[in-house]
Structure formats: C-alpha cells, structure tokens
Amino acid sequence: MLDAGTTPLVQVEDLKMHFPIYTGLFRKHTGDVKAVDGVSFQIMAGQTLGLVGESGCGKSTVGRAMLRLYEPTAGRVLIGGEDVASLAPEALRKKRPTMQMVFQDPQASLNPRMTLSEIVSEPLDEHTDWSRDKKLERVYELMDQVGLNRRFVNRFPHEFSGGQRQRIGIARALALKPKFIVCDEPIAALDVSIQAQVVNLLEDLQAKLGLTYLFISHDLSMVRHLAQKVAVMYLGRIAELSPSKDLYARPLHPYAEALLSAVNEPDPELAARRNRIILKGDVPSPANPPKGCNFCSRCPKVMDICRQVKPDLAEVEPGRLVACHLYEPKTAAGSTGGPEAIELNQQGVNQ
C-alpha cells in the first residue's frame, strides 16, 4: 500500500483484439471484428480504473485480453513490469496468481456440481502444493473476508442467493492473493439493494489488501462511486480517459457527454429540468466501423475532419485524455488553442 497511487501496476499499450471473420465455402478470411482497436491506459497500484461504455464497445474484451483469456492481436500489457501479452505458456501460468477476474453472472461462472469449498480452493489445487487442511483453512479465511458464513462451506451454488454467489466468485478470485483483479460487470446481475453490499465489499477488500481493480461496468453512477479514473470506450477505442471527478463534472468528449446525460437520476425535479442529449441511431458494427472517428455517425458536433481522420487520444487538459478533433490545436492558424476551436465548432452546429 506504500506505493499506492504513485506507480502504475498495470500498463496497457496499444492493445488490439481483432476477431477474424471467415466466410464462404473455403472459410476465406474476409475481415476482422475490431473489438478492441488500440487501447492504452495505466492503473496505479491500489487504485481503481472504471471502464464504461455500452454493450459491444469492447470493454469486456479489454479485460479478457489483458488477462490473456484471449490472445491479443497486438499491444503490450504490463502487469508488475512483465508483459502478459507475450509471456510463454509456462511463464504465463506462473503469472496467473497475480491477476484474477470476477465475472458478471455468478450463476453461470460457478460450476453447479462443485461445492463452495471446491470452487474456492480450485485455484489453490492448481497453483499450490498445499495439504488439504491448509487449503480448507485458507477457504475459511476467504469466507470470513467476503462475509460468508463458515457453515456454508459444503453447500452448492444453487443454495445461495445472487449476492452470496457473487461473494463466492470474489473469494475464488482472492484465493491466490492477487494484486490485480478485473471486475467484469460484477454487480449487473444483482438487485439494487444487493449491489451496494457487493460494492462496499469490493471497496473494503481493496483497502485491506491493497488491490488494484479494473472495474468494467455500464453503470455510470456506480463507477463514479468506485473509480479514481474512468475510461469511456466507444466501438473499440477510448473516447475519453479522465479523473472521475473531472469527467462527471464536465465531460469533454461528445460521446461521454451524451452518455452521462442519458443516465437517469432518481430525482424527478432534476429529470424535468435536465437537457438530455438523445443520440440518433445505433452503434455501428465493429466489423465495419466508420472511416474517421468511430463516433462520427452519431456525434451531434460532427465536423468534416471527423469523417476523414481518426482522432488520437491526446492530453487536452492536465490529466485528461480525449480522442476528439474538437480539442485539437488548429495547426493552420498557428497558435489557435483548444478552447477557441470548441467555440468555432459549437457555432457551426448551431447554424
């Protein structure tokens, strides 16, 4: 915990995950689904990065490719200084205990024929040569940590509620004392009153064990609660990567702005006052993304350049990375800075 927040534990550089499309009689390779197309970010030790976006934007694929559950097409994933993306199989196996995952659907990710103790100790069977007693001791310790009653140790998943099942999933992820955990929509399948229980548990564990999280979610208000930094993804690319408090106070990327405005606040007064940005249409297919900026087909502030050139993720304000032409310094005018460029554009939209 000493180095919390100062050194990155996880560094992702230009991660790409393309899934090939084969068509026709001879299964010819005719294209790629670019699920993740050049994503870079860092996560400081002991901190949480929120990864948000709509379904199909590639956020889960990022998490899975980082842990080598998929073989990434390109890019580097440094976890504790080692490049996971290029590790040889045996070295990767040795690395696995440091990086774990909590899955979305606790019903589907727990084997219905295994008891709680079998599920939670399976990683220990795989990665340690401990005796049975020692493993059971560790299972009890984990059950205490995640708030499961020790009496449940021989029960099967169907005997637990959704929230308890997610606790089992968390206990399993913690079994090998990992440093980094990818939480892939861990609360999406739970009821509102149970979500808070699991989120508080994740926070407690982070504080106690110094864990680093990648928290993947479509629930923007929960991400605001949990994460220090948030990356907003759209169609395989990061649109904006900002400190949480800046992003929620003033989103810079038009997509981030629209996404935040679409969130329903439980407050009728606010709902009546608020101006929603309603995006037209649907997310394009990642097999055939638009030329230029991925968001250009739905962007309310689209310009000509957006349809031609893909914007790069660049720092537009201290600590805030945005991939949008609105914030690029205009080279033609020489010294024209970002803010003036925005003004120009908004006028363009209003006309």
**Please, are residues 136 and 118 in contact by the beta-carbon 8 Å criterion?**
no
Near another protein by CB under 8 A, which window of 112-120, 127-135, 166-174, 187-195?
A: 187-195
- By CB under 8 A, tell whether 275 contacts another protein: no
- Please, which residues bridge with residue 34 across strands? 18
Report the alpha-carbon distance of residue 248 to residue 221 in Å, rounded: 9
Report the alpha-carbon distance of residue 62 to residue 77 in Å, rounded: 10
Near another protein by CB under 8 A, which window of 74-82, 275-283, 313-321, 339-347?
A: 275-283
- By CB under 8 A, tell whether 141 contacts another protein: no
- By CB under 8 A, tell whether 221 contacts another protein: yes
Near another protein by CB under 8 A, which window of 91-99, 110-118, 253-261, 343-351?
A: 253-261
Report the alpha-carbon distance of residue 114 to residue 135 in Å, rounded: 16
- By CB under 8 A, tell whether 245 contacts another protein: yes
* Residues whose CB falls within 8 Å of the CB of residue 341, separated by 6 or more in sequence, listed in order: 326, 327, 328, 329, 330
- By CB under 8 A, tell whether 235 contacts another protein: no
Report the alpha-carbon distance of residue 102 to residue 170 in Å, rounded: 6
How far apart, in Å, are the Cα atoms of 108 and each of 13, 33, 105, 171, 307? 31, 26, 5, 16, 41
Specify the residue, 99 or 296, whose C-beta has the smaller distance to another protein: 296
276 to 315: interface string for another protein, x by CB under 8 A? x-xx--x---------------------------------
- By CB under 8 A, tell whether 105 contacts another protein: no
- By CB under 8 A, tell whether 271 contacts another protein: yes
Near another protein by CB under 8 A, which window of 15-23, 24-32, 177-185, 260-268?
A: 260-268
